[in-house]
Amino acid sequence: MSRTVAPSAPLTRVQPSAVLAVLKPVTWFAPIWAFACGAISSIPAMPAEADGARLFLDVALGLVLAGPLLCGASQAVNDWFDRHVDAINEPHRPIPSGRLPGRSGFAVAILWTALSLLVAACLGPIVFAAAALGCAFSWAYSAPPFRLKRDGWLGNASVAISYEGLAWMTGAALVAQGLPSVETLLLAALYSLGAHGIMTLNDFKSVKGDRQFGIMSLPARYGVALASRIACWVMAAPQIVVVGLLLSWGETLAGTIVAALLVGQGTLMRRFLKDPEAEAIRYNATGTGLYVLGMMVAAVALGVGS
């Protein structure tokens, strides 16, 4: 059992629970889900001679790579470079509280990034390239001199591409054992674009703090009212294109389901737009669920047909 230590007397040993805390398991769902969507969407491209057992193991390892490893590494990187801000706003976090003493938080970020790249290398050159790009985005998002998180457009784009597009493409490439089809790449790109709006939802809770520390999130830059409308359109427009593509590919049932899910999101968006700061968390828990369900519907339509 860990000891309770006063803030003035930080712990000198790294606690496993503190390491897990900076890896933030709650954030792993998004890239794992996108990876699964990519894998399912590429089932028709799977080589006939593929070893089923080996492919199953590779996909299982890929899910670990997408969530606990790559996403976990990005969270550790962010916590280290945000430690000074967290010391003011959230002093209970592992690094400012001393549960990860000295530079151990930085060591976790480096080691987890290296482990991620090592596992990715075992899954082939395309997976490794995607993982390396994702790692580059995660460090550029949090670390100077880039620190993309200071800009709501660039920062949210880097996260959306990593968590949705790259994860989707990696799952697809792993199953196809080569470059994914044009159709699955289109879906990966469109859902990445929409995810930019989802990332913006997280910024409504910290508008005052962002302005104080010079972080130009969309709500801090444009104001809550305009930023909420931008977020909604960025989430909705790519899904409209997805519906059109599914219908043009003859996937009428899937296109209809995605359209219905989008209508449901629109209803929830109306409530969100009335009070974005109060409703952002609620919409994130409801409307985002409909969004990711639509991702799977589209992936299944490509993978096994509707």
Average pLDDT over residues 29-46: 95
Residue 17, classified by CB atoms within 10 Å of its CB into exposed (0-12), middle (13-18) or buried (19+), is exposed
Beta-bridge mates of residue 151? 216
Residue 306 — very low, low, confident or very high, per pLDDT cuts 50/70/90?
low
**How many Cβ atoms are within 10 Å of 124's Cβ, its own excluded?**
16
91: pLDDT strictly greater than 80: yes
Distance, CA of 120 to CA of 129 (rounded, Å): 8
132-169 pLDDT tens trace: 999 999 999 999 999 999 999 999 999 999 999 999 99
Distance, CA of 292 to CA of 235 (rounded, Å): 11
**Are 61 and 124 within 8 A, CB to CB?**
no
**How many Cβ atoms are within 10 Å of 8's Cβ, its own excluded?**
6
Residue 8's pLDDT is 40
Distance, CA of 73 to CA of 84 (rounded, Å): 19
**Are 174 and 40 within 8 A, CB to CB?**
no
**Are 126 and 190 within 8 A, CB to CB?**
no
Average pLDDT over residues 47-64: 91
Number of alpha carbons in the 13 Å side-chain half-sphere of residue 107: 7
Beta-bridge mates of residue 216? 151
Domains and CATH numbers, the chain: 16-180 (1.10.357.140), 181-306 (1.20.120)
68: pLDDT strictly greater than 60: yes
192-238 pLDDT tens trace: 999 999 999 989 988 887 888 888 999 999 999 999 999 999 999 99
Q: Return the residue matching tokens 């606990």.
A: 68
Q: In the chain, what percentage of residues exceed pLDDT 90?
A: 79
**How many Cβ atoms are within 10 Å of 99's Cβ, its own excluded?**
23
205 or 264, greater pLDDT: 264
Which one, of 111, 110, 36, lies nearest residue 67 by Cα? 36
Average pLDDT value over all residues in the chain? 92
R_g of the chain computed on alpha carbons: 20
3-state secondary structure of 256: helix
Distance, CA of 60 to CA of 273 (rounded, Å): 39
**How far, rounded to the nearest angstrom, does the alpha carbon of residue 71 sit from its chain's CA centroid?**
7
Distance, CA of 134 to CA of 124 (rounded, Å): 15
Which one, of 62, 34, 50, lies nearest residue 122 by Cα? 62
pTM (two decimals) = 0.91
280: pLDDT strictly greater than 50: yes
Residue 12 — very low, low, confident or very high, per pLDDT cuts 50/70/90?
low
110: pLDDT strictly greater than 90: yes
Residue 260, classified by CB atoms within 10 Å of its CB into exposed (0-12), middle (13-18) or buried (19+), is middle
